C-alpha cells in the first residue's frame, strides 16, 4: 500500500515537472505580451501597405471634394464676414487636415524618401561619415517643416482673416467702420502669411546652403572641365523643397555621364569639322552673354549665376508679402503706386531668377548653345515659368486688366442656355478666390 502511494506521488511529481517544463518551453517560444501586441503605428502601417491603392483613392476624393466645393469660393456678404464665416474657415481646415493625413500616410508607406529637395541628387549619396548623415537628417527635418507649412497655411490665413476683430480706434483717414474692419482683417491675414513665408524662407535657405556648400567643396578638388560638368549636374530646388516620399531620384553620377555624352561631338573619327556659317541666334543677347561667361572663369561664373538665381527664387515670395504688409499697413493715397512698383519689382525678380538659372545650365559646343539641364530640372523651370501667369491675379493688374476682361467674358457666358450663368458665376468666384489668398498665389 505504501509503495503504491509512493509510486503515485512520484509519478505526480514527475508529471508536474514535465508539465512545468513544457509550459516553460512554450513560454520561451511564444513572444512576450509587449512584443506580441503590435503598436498602433505598426498596425496602421500594415493596413496602409495592404490597402494603399484604396486609401489613395479616398485621399484624392476627399481632397477634390473639398477643393471644388462651391461654398469654398462663393463670396459672402460683408456683414456675414465681420462676425466670422464658418463656411469659409471649415473647408480650409478640412483641406489642411486631409493634406496632413495624406502626408502622414505617404511617410508611413514610403518613409521620408531618398530625395534631398533638389532636382538632381539623393539623400543617400556620399553618406560616408557621421557628419554627412547628420547633414542629411537636417535636410529631411527642414523639408518636413516646409511640408507642414504648406499643409496648414491655408487654414492659418483664412482663420486669421475671419477672426473677430475689435472696433478700430478713430484715425486720421475718414473711412466707415465696415471698411476699416475689412482692412484690419486683410492685414491680419497678411501678417500670418508674412510669418509663414519667413519660416519657409529660412528653411529653403538652409536647404540651399547645405546642398550648395557641399557641391562647392566637392568642385574644389576637380579640374576645370570636371567643374563645368559638376555645375551642369547640380540640381535646383524642386517644388519649394517640400517632402515627396515617393519622388523619383536623378542620381548625380548618372547626370554627369549624360552630360558627357551630350557634349561628346566629333571625337570618335578624329575628323576636323569646319566651323559652320554664323547664324542669326549667335548675335542674340543670350548667346553673347553665354559666350562672355565661357571666356571667363566658366565654372565659378556658372555656379555664381546658379546660386544667385536660386536665392532670388527663394527670396521673392517673402519679399512680396512682407512689402505688401508694409505698404498696405500705411493705408495712404499713394499705396496704389507703391503696389504697382512692388508688382513690377517682384516680376523682374522672378524673370531674373529664371534667366540666371537657365543660363547657368547652358553651354557652348562649337557654335551651338546646348541645354544640359536634366529632365526634372527642365520640368521645374517650366513650372516656374508658368507660375508667372499668376501675376495677372495680383493687384494692381487684377483691377486694371484681368477683372474687366473676366467680367466681360462672364457676361458673354451668361447667354449659354441652362449652364451658362451658373458656370460663369462659379468661374468668377474661383478667380476671386485665387487672387484673394496669398497661399493660392504662391502655391507649389
Which pLDDT tens digit goes with each residue over 276-315? 434 444 455 655 555 555 544 477 888 899 999 999 999 9
Per-residue cell: 11: 509519478
111 dihedral zone (left: phi>0; alpha: psi -120 to 50; beta): left
Contact 251, 156 (CB under 8 A): no
Note the pLDDT of residue 115: 81
DSSP count for the chain of H helices, then E strands: 19, 2
pLDDT digits (tens, 9 = 90+) for 364-378: 666 667 788 889 999
pLDDT digits (tens, 9 = 90+) for 132-156: 778 888 999 999 999 999 999 999 9
Helix (H, G, I), strand (E, B) or coil at 362: strand
**Strand spans (E) along 285-402:** 362-365, 368-371
Contact 353, 385 (CB under 8 A): no
Q: CA 147 to CA 377: how far, in whole Å?
A: 20
pLDDT digits (tens, 9 = 90+) for 382-421: 999 999 999 999 989 999 999 999 999 999 988 888 888 8
pLDDT band of residue 83 (cuts 50, 70, 90) is very low
Contact 359, 293 (CB under 8 A): yes
Q: Cβ neighbours of residue 59 under 8 Å, at least 6 residues apart?
A: 98, 101, 102, 105
> Which pTM does this prediction carry?
0.80
First to last CA, the chain: 93
- What percent of the chain is modeled with pLDDT above 90? 34
Q: CA 311 to CA 305: how far, in whole Å?
A: 10
Phi, psi of 365 (to 5 degrees): -120, 105
List Cα–Cα distances, 186 to 69, 147, 180, 312, in angstroms: 23, 25, 10, 27
Q: What Rg value do the Cα atoms of the chain yield, rounded?
A: 31
- What percent of the chain is modeled with pLDDT above 70? 73
Q: Cβ neighbours of residue 205 under 8 Å, at least 6 residues apart?
A: 311, 314
pLDDT digits (tens, 9 = 90+) for 93-131: 898 999 999 999 999 998 887 788 899 887 666 566 777
- Which residue from 322, 123, 130 is spatially nearest to 241, judged by alpha carbons? 123
For residues 218-243, give the mean pLDDT: 85
Identify the residue whose cell numbers are 560638368: 229
Q: CA 258 to CA 388: how far, in whole Å?
A: 30
Domain ranges (residues) in the chain: 38-111, 112-165+180-264+293-374
pLDDT digits (tens, 9 = 90+) for 15-54: 444 444 444 444 444 444 444 446 888 889 899 989 989 9
Contact 107, 143 (CB under 8 A): no
Contact 103, 147 (CB under 8 A): yes
Phi, psi of 371 (to 5 degrees): -90, 115
Contact 204, 146 (CB under 8 A): yes
Note the pLDDT of residue 21: 45
Amino acid at each position: 500500500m505504501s509503495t503504491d502511494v509512493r509510486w503515485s506521488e512520484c509519478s505526480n511529481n514527475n508529471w508536474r515537472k514535465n508539465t512545468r517544463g513544457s509550459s516553460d518551453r512554450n513560454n520561451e517560444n511564444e513572444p512576450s505580451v509587449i512584443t506580441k501586441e503590435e503598436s498602433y503605428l505598426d498596425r496602421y502601417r500594415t493596413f496602409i501597405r495592404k490597402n494603399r491603392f484604396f486609401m489613395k483613392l479616398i485621399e484624392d476624393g476627399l481632397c477634390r471634394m473639398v477643393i471644388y466645393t462651391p461654398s469654398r469660393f462663393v463670396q459672402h456678404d460683408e456683414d456675414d464676414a465681420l462676425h466670422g464665416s464658418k463656411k469659409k474657415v471649415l473647408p480650409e481646415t478640412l483641406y489642411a487636415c486631409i493634406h496632413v493625413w495624406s502626408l502622414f500616410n505617404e511617410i508611413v508607406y514610403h518613409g521620408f524618401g531618398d530625395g534631398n529637395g533638389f532636382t538632381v541628387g539623393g539623400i543617400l549619396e556620399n553618406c560616408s561619415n557621421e557628419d554627412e548623415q547628420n547633414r542629411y537628417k537636417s535636410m529631411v527635418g527642414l523639408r518636413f517643416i516646409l511640408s507642414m507649412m504648406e499643409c496648414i497655411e491655408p487654414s492659418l490665413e483664412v482663420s486669421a482673416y475671419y477672426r473677430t476683430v475689435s472696433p478700430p480706434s478713430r484715425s486720421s483717414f475718414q473711412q466707415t467702420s465696415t471698411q476699416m474692419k475689412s482692412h484690419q482683417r486683410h492685414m491680419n491675414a497678411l501678417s500670418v502669411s508674412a510669418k509663414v513665408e519667413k519660416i519657409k524662407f529660412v528653411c529653403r535657405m538652409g536647404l540651399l546652403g547645405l546642398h550648395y556648400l557641399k557641391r562647392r567643396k566637392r568642385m574644389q578638388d576637380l579640374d576645370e572641365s570636371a567643374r563645368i560638368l559638376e555645375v551642369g549636374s547640380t540640381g535646383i530646388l524642386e517644388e519649394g523643397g517640400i517632402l515627396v516620399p515617393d519622388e523619383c531620384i536623378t542620381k548625380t553620377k548618372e547626370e554627369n555621364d549624360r552630360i558627357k555624352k551630350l557634349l561628346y561631338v566629333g571625337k570618335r573619327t578624329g575628323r576636323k569639322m569646319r566651323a559652320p556659317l554664323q547664324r542669326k541666334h549667335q548675335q542674340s543677347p543670350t548667346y553673347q552673354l553665354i559666350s562672355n561667361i565661357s571666356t571667363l572663369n566658366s565654372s565659378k561664373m556658372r555656379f555664381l549665376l546658379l546660386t544667385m538665381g536660386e536665392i532670388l527664387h527663394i527670396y521673392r515670395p517673402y519679399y512680396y508679402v512682407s512689402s505688401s504688409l508694409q505698404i498696405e499697413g500705411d493705408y495712404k493715397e499713394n499705396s496704389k503706386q507703391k503696389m504697382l512698383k512692388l508688382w513690377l519689382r517682384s516680376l523682374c525678380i522672378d524673370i531674373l531668377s529664371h534667366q540666371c538659372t537657365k543660363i547657368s545650365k547652358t553651354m557652348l559646343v562649337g557654335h551651338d548653345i546646348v541645354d544640359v539641364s536634366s529632365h526634372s530640372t527642365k520640368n521645374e523651370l517650366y513650372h516656374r515659368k508658368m507660375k508667372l501667369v499668376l501675376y495677372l491675379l495680383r493687384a494692381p493688374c487684377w483691377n486694371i486688366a484681368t477683372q474687366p476682361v473676366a467680367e466681360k467674358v462672364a457676361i458673354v457666358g451668361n447667354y449659354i442656355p441652362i449652364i451658362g450663368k451658373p458656370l460663369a458665376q462659379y468661374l468668377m468666384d474661383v478667380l476671386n478666390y485665387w487672387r484673394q489668398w496669398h497661399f493660392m498665389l504662391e502655391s507649389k
